[in-house]
Amino acid sequence: MKKIMMILMIAIGVSSVAFGQTKMSKDSKVEAKIIALEKQAWQEWKNKNTSFVQNYLADDAFHVYGDGIVDKIQIVSSLPNCEYKSFSLDNFKFRLVDKNSALLNYTATQDTTCNGKKHATNIRGTSVYVRRGGKWLSLLYMETPAVQ
């Protein structure tokens, strides 16, 4: 009887550890997917790929910059007026808020001009993603100049 109890306790302990690893593995897969999507978005912005941007943004998406807030229509229509010469993204911090929303923060270095205005070279970017219809979409992007 003692052996059976001992085996049962070990089995329960091992299964709970395995369950935790499965969750972490699932979170890690979502994290990798969101980071890859963010990197792709920057590249597609640089390439002025309006079709990608249109499908990447949630219908109620908005971006927050130092000079104001823009909605999806304004974001897509401003794309041809932006010149992305170069960029690099680093120091990603990811949080899965729930099964359908995620938060991503990172640092970026960019050489970007939109509508004749030069964007800050070093920024902290924050993106909120939502899963709708089985697809991860960008709901919010916020760019803050990084203090050196």
Q: How confident is the model at residue 2 (pLDDT cuts 50, 70, 90)?
A: low
| Pairing relationship of beta strands 101-114 and 82-98 according to DSSP bridges | antiparallel
Domain range for 90 is 2-145
- For residues 18 and 113, the model is more confident at 113
Instruction: With beta carbons less than 8 A apart as the criterion, state whether 13 and 79 touch.
Output: no
Instruction: With beta carbons less than 8 A apart as the criterion, state whether 24 and 16 touch.
Output: no
Mean pLDDT score across all residues of the chain: 86
Burial 117-126 (b: 16+ CB within 10 A, else e): eebbeebbbb
Question: At residue 99, does pLDDT exceed 90?
Answer: yes
Question: At residue 148, does pLDDT exceed 80?
Answer: no
pLDDT at site 116: 87
Give how many domains the chain has, as a whole number: 1
Q: pTM for this structure?
A: 0.80
Convert the pLDDT of each residue in 21-57 to its tens digit. 444 457 889 999 999 999 999 999 999 999 999 999 9
Residue 104 belongs to domain with CATH number: 3.10.450.50
Question: At residue 141, does pLDDT exceed 90?
Answer: yes
